[in-house]
Structure 1
Amino acid sequence: MKSSILASAAILAASLEPVAALSEPLQNILINTDRSPIYRYPTDVTRGIIPIPVHSHNDYWRDVPFYTALSAGCISIEADVFLFNDTLYVGHEESALTKERTLQSLYIEPLMSVLKKTNPKSPFVSGPTRHGVFDASSGQTLYLWIDVKNNGEKAWPHIIKALQPLRDANYLTKVQNNETFVPGPVTVIGTGGTPLSQVVSAADRDYFYDGPLKDLTGFTSLVSPIASTSLMEVVGDIKSDSENPLNPTQLEAIRKQIKAAKDKSIGVRYWETPGWPIRLRNELWRMLWKEGVALLNADDVNAAKEYF
């Protein structure tokens, strides 16, 4: 017994001894690697971020718009815009607008900054590249939804103009002659008060329209690569205390809409999805993803990241 106690004490004492540090030369190498071009990865701005099929709903509400969603891997981001004095301001309502928070400052400029880093100049490529924002999946487009909140007819031309930096760099997904779809790093989709007539009237364009999921008659994927609608309007009341929050009738309504969209090669997104209780939110995400939506609507993008 005594020998057992002594042995245990010896083990404990050994565990309390300082752990040998890494060799000083190796520590110096690790500390100073950032000073050497050998250890600089040209497109590391989003290195290690895995894209997820999530829509950052009301993205501008985040402490750091755009970048928070990007760091979570969201492939879709939404900005609400108001036009005042020929400037596009970002916010959910007029009282939340500030002169600093514009479409340009919160989204266009950050997008350009990231895309320049994922498309660096290199002697190893023969011409300009069109890589997307995710280093792990350079062919993945980023959907930028612009929700026009006031005076759509007047605001839309200003939005087209605001996209010019992305256009000049050839970063925008576009349609040519109303028949050829050319994918790009950024796909702009107008929603809210976006005037459909100003979208479809252009045979050559680099912007699209949020299709009305409830009735896609006359719409094609060249106009609306993704269509959306309110989940609550489609299914009505949702049982928050059930393991299956959507009953068979509600599921059938969703399936019909998703099938109608997929038959036209149009993706689906449902908004106005409950964010609470958490269990209900997660179960609805699971059900919608299983049914085949293209994007899951999320207010908590970090929770959505963990979901995947």
Structure 2
Amino acid sequence: MVLTTRRRVVTTLAAALAGAVAAPAYAEAAERSDRSARPQPLRRAHAHNDYLHERPLHNALAHGFTSVEADIFLVNGDLLVAHEPAGLDPTRTLRSLYLDPLLARVRANHGLVHRGYRRPVQLLIDIKTDGVAAYLELDRQLRSYRRMLSGYAYGHVRLGAVTAVVSGDRTARAPMEAQPVRYAFYDGRLDDLTAAEPAPASFIPLISSNWTQSFSWLGSGPFPAAEREKLRTLVDTAHADGRRVRFWATPDAPGPERDALWLELLAAGVDHLNTDDLAGLETFLRVHDH
């Protein structure tokens, strides 16, 4: 796998996007961006169920988050964002809540989502139903935004301002894996770390797992030594393969248990801390993650 340098990616991306918009309008937007106080981006902050916040995406970015999660359903040929079918609203599409606002940020910030932050921001897209059909529509939509997206083409990965990662319905894996060119990557599971022939990090750059299925400790009392060793072994194995790690279903109610577990995740090198409490995780990481 060959990775282009981030500097080259950002330069190329900014140049490509500049041609698609009127320069004066985006120069003015960039100046406004400079004048407004922006928080330092938090490389480990992941907004779980981000779309449930008052201002999806925007609230998370305002707190410095660098990873957000959106659940999608395929409805009448479009991708709607909701936690469950009862919450579906035809105005809340993946394009309107995430893709278009991200593109606007990237254009205003000279090829970056967070000004000065040269790593890709992760958009984790959880397909709730109709895995294959939903992915094919997602792939069709992502191609319209390819200039801002990380992509894979014939064995090579090019990093962009935004990296889309597909999670949820596992039937989406087969059509993704068969594509010689794509603009999304796949969210793996712990089994992918021990597979006889593991998929490369160019396909599975992220490993996600339900914390409670692998660990009994929920932050109260000492972390069992065997579980601490298991956690660090999992993270080290993933990192050795060039993959990042995220756990969901960790304690998320404010209190000492949550802080204790988050501290252990940081100590083990877990890449994304999962939360619905944007302000709580921001405060924690600004104190503890250096």
Q: Is the 8 A contact 2:142 2:183 kept in 1?
A: no
> Is 1:271 the counterpart of 2:248 in the alignment?
yes
> Is 1:290 the counterpart of 2:267 in the alignment?
yes
Q: Is the 8 A contact 1:148 1:190 kept in 2?
A: yes
Aligned to 2:142: 163
Of 258, 262, 272, 1:281 maps to 258
2:128 and 2:99 map into 1 onto residues whose CA distance is 18
Of 26, 44, 49, 1:58 maps to 49
Of 119, 130, 143, 1:151 maps to 130
CA distance change for structure 1 residues 45 and 197 in 2, over 3 Å: closer, same or farther? farther
Aligned to 1:257: 234
1:211 and 1:44 map into 2 onto residues whose CA distance is 37
Offset of 1:41 from its aligned partner? 2.0
Offset of 1:262 from its aligned partner? 1.1
> Is 1:102 the counterpart of 2:100 in the alignment?
no
The alignment's C-alpha RMSD in Å is 2.0
Aligned to 2:13: none
Offset of 1:43 from its aligned partner? 4.4
CA distance change for structure 1 residues 110 and 38 in 2, over 3 Å: closer, same or farther? closer
Offset of 1:45 from its aligned partner? 8.2
Corresponding letter in the other structure for 2:247? Y
Task: Give the number of equivalent residue pairs.
Answer: 254
> Is 1:185 the counterpart of 2:161 in the alignment?
yes
Identity %: 30
| Structure 1: gaps spanning 5 or more residues | 1-36, 120-130
CA distance change for structure 1 residues 306 and 175 in 2, over 3 Å: closer, same or farther? same
Offset of 1:215 from its aligned partner? 3.4
Aligned to 1:74: 65
| Structure 2: gaps spanning 5 or more residues | 1-26
1:70 and 1:39 map into 2 onto residues whose CA distance is 17
CA distance change for structure 1 residues 39 and 261 in 2, over 3 Å: closer, same or farther? closer
Q: TM-score, normalised by structure 1?
A: 0.78
- Provide Cα deviations, 1:253-297, integer angstroms capped at 9, x if missing partner: 212211211110101111111112521111111110110111111
Q: Is the 8 A contact 1:146 1:188 kept in 2?
A: yes
> Is 1:44 the counterpart of 2:20 in the alignment?
no
Offset of 1:200 from its aligned partner? 1.3
SS of 1:250's equivalent? helix
Aligned to 2:21: none
Corresponding letter in the other structure for 2:154? N
Offset of 1:117 from its aligned partner? 0.8
